[in-house]
Structure formats: C-alpha cells, structure tokens
Amino acid sequence: MTREVVCDLDGVAVLRDGSAWFIRYDAGAHQIAMREDGISAEEAALAMSGPEGAVEVLFALQQRLIAAGINPYAANAPE
Amino acid sequence: MRLGGWLNRLAFAAAGMLALLGTAAQADEGPKDAATRQWWALTRELSSDAMEGRDTGSPGYDRAAAIVAKRFAEAGLKAAGDGGGWFQTITFEDLRLDEARSRLTVGGQALRFNREVQLSPSAATPKSLTAAATFRGYCSQAEIADVKGQLVVCYGRPAPARLKGFDRLKALQDAGAAGMLLIAAPGLPGEPIRWPFAYSRSVTPLEEVAVARGGAPWLQGVLNPDSLARLTGQADAILKAGAAGADLPRVELGKATGVLTVNRRVTRSANVLGLLPGTDPALADQAIVIAAHLDGYGRGEPVKGDRIYNGTLDDAAYVALLARFAAMHRGKGLKRPVILAVFTGEEKGLWGSRWFVKHPTVPLSRIAAVINLDQVRPLYPLKLLSVHGLKESSLGDLVLQVAKARGIAVQEDPEPERDLLRRSDNWPLMQACVPGTSFVFATYDDASRAKYRDWYERRYHHPADDLSTPIDWQAASDFNGFFTALTEAAADAPGRITWNWGLAPHRAGAVRFTDLEPQYQPGKCELAVLETPKGQRPAAATYLTEAYQAAHAALFAKGAVRIQPKAPAGKIGFTETWVLPPSVADAAIAQAGGDPRKLEALLGLDAGYLGDAPVRVDIPAPQNYRIPSGNEYAANAFWRPGGMTWEGGLPEAVIDPVPPEGYVVTPVFGKAP
C-alpha cells in the first residue's frame, strides 16, 4: 500500500494508506521542514474541512508529538 | 473581630513572652558577630516549638506574624498591609482528609495515610472509590491509552529527556482515569526521595475555590516509594530504571477500594507587609520588594518522636533576615522604597504572594523588582551561589557585581529541570512582569554535596528543619551581608531595573544587522507572554510599544525576503509564511561572501540546509504583515515575543501566503536557481 493524497489544501495535504490517515505539511518557520504524521479519521475529516480545521489538527498533533518526546518542528519527510 | 486587629494587639504581648523561649544554648558556639547573633535570635524565636510550625491558618502562624509586625514597627517601617495595618488577610478554604474515617486499599493491602500514601483532598475527591489500579511507568500518552476508570500509579516525574513538556495530569484526566498516585519525587539528581510530608491537607483562598470547583471525581496523591515493593514486588528495578530514564514496565496492581472523608473549614491567614520609604521622590515609583515566607508545615507525622515541623531554614531564618534588614535601616531609607513582604501560604501553593499580586497594597506598576529568600541553606562555606533569574533582567547584573565584590562566585541554576524559579514567592510577581531573583547555596565539592544531601533528606520539610541544624555561621553571615548589599544596590541603583529581552543570552557571536530591541508597554513583559500557552498568546500589539511596532514595520516597508535552498514550487505558506526584512537579507548575503555555510550561520539556519545554490525569494508587496504572536503553527520552542529570531536576534515577521505572482526568485550568489 502507498499513501494516497486524498485532499490537497495547497500547503497541507491529507493522505490515506488503507485505514490509516496522515497529514503532510511544512512544520518549519524560516526553514522548510516537511513532515508526515499519523492522524485519526476524525482529524482527517477536520483537516479536510479547510485551513482552520487543518491548523486545529496540527496544534493537537504537535502536542501529541511533544508528549511522545518527538520534535514536531523537525522534518521527517522529503520535500 | 478582624484578624489584623487581633494580631496587632497580640504582637506586643507575645513578643515579650516568647523572647524567653529563644534563649536555649546552641550545640555549637553559635554566631560570632553581633549582626548574625541578632538574626539567629529572631530565627530561634520564630521557629521555636511555641510557634507550632507556623502552619497557614494556625494560631502558631498568627503568633509569629505578630512578632514580625512588632519588629517592623520597632524598626520604624510604615505599615503596608490592608487598611493601613501590617497585615493583608486572606480567607482560605482548608480541606483535610479525616484519616480516622478514611481508608484506601490497593490489591487488598491497606495503605497507611501519610506513611505510605498522601492524598491531596479537593472538592473532586470521591467519597468512595472502586477501580482497577495500574502502574503505567512515566504515564506518557502511549502508556495511558486504556486507563479509563482506573487509578493510575505513575513514576514521580516525567524523565525530562523523554517527555519534555508533558502535561501528565491533564492527559490522565482526558483519558478518563479515576485518579493519579505519583511515586514520591524519585529520579532527580539533586532532589532525593523524602517522606513523609506533613499531612494530607489542601488550603486554597476562598476566592479561588469557586473557580476550581467542578469536573469529574478525581483522586490525587503521592505514593511512598517504599510501598511500591508491597504493591508491585519490583520496586528496586522500577526506581533504578526510572532514575536512569529507561523504559518502565506496566504492572497491574489489582483492585483499589477507598472510603474518603474530607473535612472542610474556613480559616484566615495574613501576609505581613512593611515599607521602608525611599529618599528620592523621583524613584518613588520603583519600589524593591524583598520577600520571604513565614508559613511552614505546622504539626504533622512525627519523625523520631518530633511532630513539629519548625521550618527554621525554610523559611523562618529569612523572615528574620528581613526584620534585621529593617532594623539596620531604621531611619536610613534608601533611594527607592523597599517593601518587606512576609508571605503566608507559600507551602500551600504560593498563595500569599499570589494574593499580593492579585490584590496589591502597592500598585504593581510602582514595583521595580523582587528579591526573594527561601531556604537559602548556609550549611557550608559560601563560595558559590546558584541564582534563579540571573539572566532575565538587569537585577542579575547587580547580583553579579555584589557577589564579585564579596568574593562569591555565581552560577545559573544548574538543575533547571527542578524548576526552582517557579517554586517560590518571586514567581507570581515575575509572572506579573516584576523582574525577580532568588538564591540557594550551590554545592562545589564532596563535603558540600554531602551536607546538602543530608539536609535535603533528613531536614527539608521534616521536623528536623529546626534549631539543631548545623549552621555554618560564617557562611550565614556572608550570605546575610550579600543580601543586604544587594538590596541596597538595587534600591540605590542609578538606573531602572529592566528585563533583558530574549530572556537569555543571544547566540555567541550573532550578527544582528540592527540595533532594534523589543520594547514593552508598561506592566507588560516577555516572560508573561512566553508563559502563555501556544494558541492563547496575545497579539503583539497588546504588549509592545507603538514606537517599537512602527520601527519593526518600517523594516518591512520595502518588502520581505525568504532565503531557501531552491525556488518555491507554487504558493508560499499555508496560513502564513515567515520572512526577513530585505535589508537584513542584503547585509547577511554580503557578509557571507559567497559561502552558503556562512549565510546559514548568519541567519541561524541548520548547517547544510541551504545546499550549494540557495535562492532569494523577494516579496515586494507582502500582505498583512504582522509581528508573530507565537500562535502560528510553526512557532517552535525558539519563538520569542517581539518579532526577533532567537537566538540570533534578527527581525522577523509573518505575512499572508504568497501566490507565485507575488514573489521573485533570484540566486543568492549569482548561480542559477
């Protein structure tokens, strides 16, 4: 299986791999830092609702990553 | 009867009687100089058994407060409490676990209150509990996914390197847990396991109680690590692994059952506030607060037969030092006013200082700095001081000057993970944008480390923090002299004490290309913004001066620039994009001399990020320029308020996403993009 882009919000994309959902985004400020992280189906739906929902998902995701000891601002995916 | 009035009358009667109790001979020779002898005599008085440990809301506390007020009056201070009196009285709700009518068992084993488990009673404490109990290691999110309805035992502190910034309590509540028991304070190198605490009690200002009420039943407490062995059979392995930050096992502990009875009463306790008026009218709005806390743990579980937690070094000795400062300056005011603040309720949650900030008897806008004294510990020669808040404000510069003149070395807090800056009465004032500092004796050799550890294990928050503590009298004298000199230096300083922007040094050797530094509106500061969680931070316009905002905006009047490894593929940014001023890009590129590595260093980018042929993306007409609020989803741990990169100090802004027709791409060093 490969990750398929389900929704491209022109800067943030929601991807699907079977039943698993992912969000692809630039987590960097002055420096580009592309990431792909797993999200729930509910979060995927929220992210696909538009930029406001996508940012809400990214905030929650960042908190989860920090809690897991992962730097959410460092790249983990190719550009 | 108003408590303040009662205390004022009691003060004069109590002081004479209690002076008799302070004459017990010291086991050693005692202080050699008169000033230290006078300081220690008052320390003896305030921490004698007659004060019963000065628990918040207790008669013993009130007696001690009356003595302090009397000393302040004798020193000629002006009363600075409520209504022109010495006291600022707080009404508290006092919740106490009724141990005789309560029980808690885990896995069929009854846990003894204040020996094996200490509960923190609250309005949410359930009257009864039946739940599965489970040990979930550090209680990271991955470890607590399935704890709904369970009583969760967690290793005492999240290992800093593994769970940075983790809000465990909220995560457990969000996961639907029935409660949380933390294994008491394991794992921090400077903070060895200690037990027991005084007792299971929560004290909260009534005014705050209504805010705190509500929510699902929740049991919270601390578990003695010794009882881990009974519950898990693998306590040694857990404590050893936890101290090393290694993986911890999941252990099911059986059923937890409990009947919990919480008694409620309303009580009162008072801050004691005095003012040494300043001599320079032009500096009257720059008062210096010197602070210490009078409350202790009162009476509690006996240790070696002693049930009075005297709190001699924590913090009677430093209330006594404030009183000595007042006596020394009788009739000899300094240029700035000095407010002597003796706080109550520190051990219960910094309540006295929080109350003072919320209900200031002197407007906070007229307070320039706070110097706080809390369990300073003169147990060995004073060679090195750990200073909290050393780099945050120009008060730190004064600390360095005064310490250097006295041959005392100074270091920043070597154990930031213990968060000591936020754990004493300086913190509520600092949160309210008053620059502040506090100190502890630092260890520097095996002997000092052994004395510190012994004090921490056997005396800190124990009955043995009493007059039997082996004081190094020369060290005590040296510190007291340092504190007095520092307060005098702060009160007489030629310039206003100011916050340092960036709250920490900028990167060594950073080239800033501008002299612009963030300027804050009165009563606003960087620390308060940084303490606000991401997502809730205020807009920059609400705390930066208009002049600063205008100067910052002027840097972007001719456009904005991004420096990237390659040309953008389309629109730049999602909800916003981060940019630099063209002037800074020009200067950095010129200074880099064709070397991408130098350019990365100048701009604070990762080494190698720009590759060999970086591009410059010019945005001639940026839309919706603003100083970043820190709520942007890409605002990371390096974000600082004020629109400057940190640690580099370069001006930065965010603008709306830029469409392809809104930017021009050129090679940075003349090579084709």
The verdict on B131 and B74 lying in the same domain is no
pLDDT band for A79, please (50, 70, 90 cuts). confident
The verdict on B176 and B279 lying in the same domain is no
Nearest CA in chain B to A34: B634
**Residue B164 falls inside a structural domain:** yes
Q: What is the mean pLDDT of residues B493-511?
A: 78
For residue B537 the two structure tokens come to 């931070």
Residue B295 has pLDDT above 50, yes or no: yes
What integer best gives the mean pLDDT of chain B? Answer: 89
**Residue A42 falls inside a structural domain:** yes
Q: What is the mean pLDDT of residues B515-520?
A: 91
Residue B214 has pLDDT above 80, yes or no: no
Residue B5 has pLDDT above 70, yes or no: no
CATH of residue B338: 3.40.630.10
- Our CA angle for B401, B406, B409, nearest 5°, is 70
Q: What is the mean pLDDT of residues B236-245?
A: 80
For residue B389 the two structure tokens come to 């808040």
**Residue B286 falls inside a structural domain:** yes
CA distance A29 to chain B (A): 5
Say yes or no for a CB contact (<8 Å) between B575 and A51: yes
Determine the pLDDT at residue B558.
95
3-class SS of residue B387: strand
Determine the pLDDT at residue B236.
82
The verdict on B126 and B248 lying in the same domain is yes
Q: What is the 3-state secondary structure (H, E, C) of B531-558?
A: CCCCCCCCCHHHCECHHHHHHHHHHCCC
Closest CB to B578 among A30, A54, A62: A30
The verdict on B76 and B204 lying in the same domain is no
Determine the pLDDT at residue A47.
96
Digit-coded pLDDT (tens) for B246-289: 888 999 999 999 999 999 999 999 999 999 999 999 999 999 99
Say yes or no for a CB contact (<8 Å) between A58 and B534: no
pLDDT band for B583, please (50, 70, 90 cuts). very high
Residues 6+ apart with CB under 8 A from B502: B526, B640, B644, B646, B647, B649
Residue B23 has pLDDT above 90, yes or no: no
**Residue A8 falls inside a structural domain:** yes
For residue B558 the two structure tokens come to 């001719």
Residue B481 has pLDDT above 90, yes or no: yes
Say yes or no for a CB contact (<8 Å) between B562 and A30: yes
Per-residue burial over A34-59, b = 16 or more CB atoms within 10 Å of its CB, e = otherwise: ebebebeeebbebbbeeeebbbbbbe
* Alpha-carbon distances, residue B141 vs B136, B184, B616 (angstroms): 10, 20, 42
Report the residue of B633, B652, B655 to disrupt the A interface, i.e. the one with the largest count of A CBs within 10 Å: B633
Q: What is the mean pLDDT of residues B7-31?
A: 46
Say yes or no for a CB contact (<8 Å) between B140 and A28: no
3-class SS of residue B207: helix
The verdict on B180 and B279 lying in the same domain is no
Q: Which residue has the tokens 């940026």?
A: B622
Domain boundary among the residues B198, B231, B260 is at: B260
CATH of residue B210: 3.50.30
**Residue B476 falls inside a structural domain:** yes
Q: What is the mean pLDDT of residues B222-234?
A: 84
> Residue B45's closest CA among B71, B72, B7?
B71
**Residue A77 falls inside a structural domain:** no
CA distance A32 to chain B (A): 8
Say yes or no for a CB contact (<8 Å) between B633 and A55: yes
Domain boundary among the residues B260, B292, B311 is at: B260
Say yes or no for a CB contact (<8 Å) between A68 and B609: no
The verdict on B277 and B256 lying in the same domain is no
List the domain range (segments joined by +) for residue A62: 4-67
Determine the pLDDT at residue B182.
87
Tally of domains within chain A: 1
**Residue B521 falls inside a structural domain:** no
Residue B210 has pLDDT above 80, yes or no: no
Tally of domains within chain B: 3
The verdict on B41 and B107 lying in the same domain is no
Domain boundary among the residues B233, B260, B287 is at: B260
Residue B18 has pLDDT above 50, yes or no: no
Determine the pLDDT at residue B19.
36
Q: What is the mean pLDDT of residues B82-93?
A: 97
**Residue B517 falls inside a structural domain:** no
The verdict on B558 and B485 lying in the same domain is no
Determine the pLDDT at residue B17.
39
Would you say how long chain B is, in residues?
A: 673
**Residue A76 falls inside a structural domain:** no
Q: Which chain A positions have a beta carbon within 8 Å of B570's beta carbon?
A: 10
ipTM of the complex: 0.96
Determine the pLDDT at residue B524.
92
d(CA B152, CA B39): 47
Say yes or no for a CB contact (<8 Å) between A25 and B636: no
Say yes or no for a CB contact (<8 Å) between A26 and B603: no
Q: Which chain B positions have a beta carbon within 8 Å of A30's beta carbon?
A: 562-563, 578, 580, 603-605, 645, 652
Say yes or no for a CB contact (<8 Å) between B535 and A59: yes
B183-187, B317-321, B349-353: the lowest-pLDDT one: B183-187
Q: Higher model confidence: residue B201 or residue B27?
A: B201
Concatenated DSSP letters of B305-335: TEEEE--IIIIIHHHHHHHHHHHHTTT---S
**Residue A54 falls inside a structural domain:** yes
Nearest CA in chain B to A10: B574
The verdict on B241 and B345 lying in the same domain is no
Provide φ and ψ at B59, rounded to 5°: -60, -35
**Residue A75 falls inside a structural domain:** no
Closest CB to A11 among B578, B639, B657: B657
Contact present, B130 and B260 (Cβ < 8 Å): no
Residue B165 has pLDDT above 70, yes or no: no
Q: Within 10 Å of residue B515's Cβ, how many Cβ atoms?
A: 6
Which amino acid type is present at position B253? L
Q: What is the mean pLDDT of residues B484-507?
A: 86
Say yes or no for a CB contact (<8 Å) between B171 and A31: no
pLDDT band for B506, please (50, 70, 90 cuts). low
List the domain range (segments joined by +) for residue B167: 99-260
The verdict on B156 and B245 lying in the same domain is yes
Closest CB to B162 among A58, A59, A69: A69
3-class SS of residue B657: coil
**Residue A50 falls inside a structural domain:** yes
**Residue B508 falls inside a structural domain:** no
Residue B8 has pLDDT above 80, yes or no: no
Determine the pLDDT at residue B614.
97
pLDDT band for B7, please (50, 70, 90 cuts). very low
pLDDT band for B507, please (50, 70, 90 cuts). low
CA distance B474 to chain A (A): 46
The verdict on B338 and B401 lying in the same domain is yes
The verdict on B378 and B431 lying in the same domain is yes
Digit-coded pLDDT (tens) for B313-327: 999 999 999 999 999
d(CA A30, CA B579): 7
pLDDT band for B208, please (50, 70, 90 cuts). confident
Nearest CA in chain B to A55: B633
Nearest CA in chain A to B630: A29
pLDDT band for B505, please (50, 70, 90 cuts). low
Say yes or no for a CB contact (<8 Å) between A59 and B575: no
**Residue A74 falls inside a structural domain:** no
